[in-house]
Amino acid sequence: MNSTVRLTLITLALGLSACTVREPVEQPLPPIESVPPRPGPAVKPLPGSQPGTQPSKPAAIPKPMPRTSASFAPPPGGASHWDPKLGVYVLEKKPNTFYRQRTYYRYDGGWSWSLSPDGPWQETDSSGVPGGLGRAFAQ
């Protein structure tokens, strides 16, 4: 039995060593076809510019604010836009009035909330408003 195990181990070692000695054969890559260059449009300097000067960079276009949130529904029946920094909808026709999750928030020297944009308003502190609003109006 001992000789059978020994013979099996030697055969296995020789078989595996044959795999490690052989180097992989590299296949030649097909030649890359080159495309002849096409003549492009002629570039002419703008009138009034001086040759050799760098053209000025165009002004950056500001990214438009998103109108809605992916997570929160907009307020019913009112013109508003989503403010991602505040995390609320900003009502456009009512100053310092905000909306999120069926609740309106208003800042008028202090915070108050309501279920309607016209009130009745109940006073609260900054812990009773969404975090972005509390930080934006912190005193």
Q: Model confidence over 4-46: pLDDT tens digits?
A: 878 787 877 767 666 655 666 677 777 777 777 777 666 666 6
What is the predicted pLDDT for the residue at 132? 87
Q: Model confidence over 42-99: pLDDT tens digits?
A: 666 666 666 656 656 666 666 555 566 667 888 888 788 889 888 899 998 899 999 9
What is the predicted pLDDT for the residue at 123? 94
pLDDT band at 104 (very low <50, low <70, confident <90, very high): very high
The chain-wide mean pLDDT, for the chain, equals: 78
What is the predicted pLDDT for the residue at 54? 61
Q: Whose structure tokens read 């009138």?
A: 47
Q: Indicate the Cα dihedral angle 44, 50, 54, 57, nearest 10°.
A: -80
